[in-house]
Amino acid sequence: MDLFLSSLLIFGLRIVDVSLDTIRIVFLIQSRRWLAGALGLVQSFVFIFAVAQVFQNLDEPLRMVGYASGFAAGTVLGSSIERWIGMGHAIVRVIAPFDTPQVAGTLRAAGFGVTVLNAEGLQGPVRIAFAVIPRRRTTEVLRMVREANPEAFVTIEATTAPDLPVRRRVPA
């Protein structure tokens, strides 16, 4: 096989390999072991094939460049795919001065469960609102918070909470 095409093949294989590895790790964190295992099986075959292509001719640096470049590109692509898919949940914390508009009502109207605590901040009383949301809706929730209270301080982080059934409140 032509050196350039071989290096391009190695580059592509590494992109696939590392992208699958990134997604596999996310599945592991979310306790989706069987899916992570299946991805690991496919990923390891792709990895073995890519490494075999490099070791066939160690005196060709272009293949090594393809290997290393594919790793870098796969890292970027894998993290982009993971962000685009938005698997799992995130916890949103909204901290706002007590005398500013609350965001809880806005988020609840959109169907999110929100817990609000009164607390004391550096400059006086604050409200802290917590909500667990699907990660793929993070941008939407952040927009709603900003519209409801531009002064709010917001943190968002991924959770490892298992998918639990949502209990609906029964009207009294």
Question: In this predicted model, what pLDDT tens digit does every residue of 57-103 receive, in sequence order?
Answer: 778 889 889 999 999 999 999 888 877 777 778 899 999 999 888 89
pLDDT over 90 percentage in the chain? 55
- pLDDT tens-digit readout, 100-142: 888 999 999 999 999 999 999 898 999 999 999 998 899 999 9
Tokens found for residue 107: 């988020």
Residue from 44, 1, 3, 48 nearest 21 by CA = 44
For the whole prediction, is pTM greater than 0.75? Answer: no
Structure tokens that stand for 158 in this block: 């991924």
- Percent of the chain at pLDDT exceeding 70: 92
What pLDDT sits at residue 84?
79
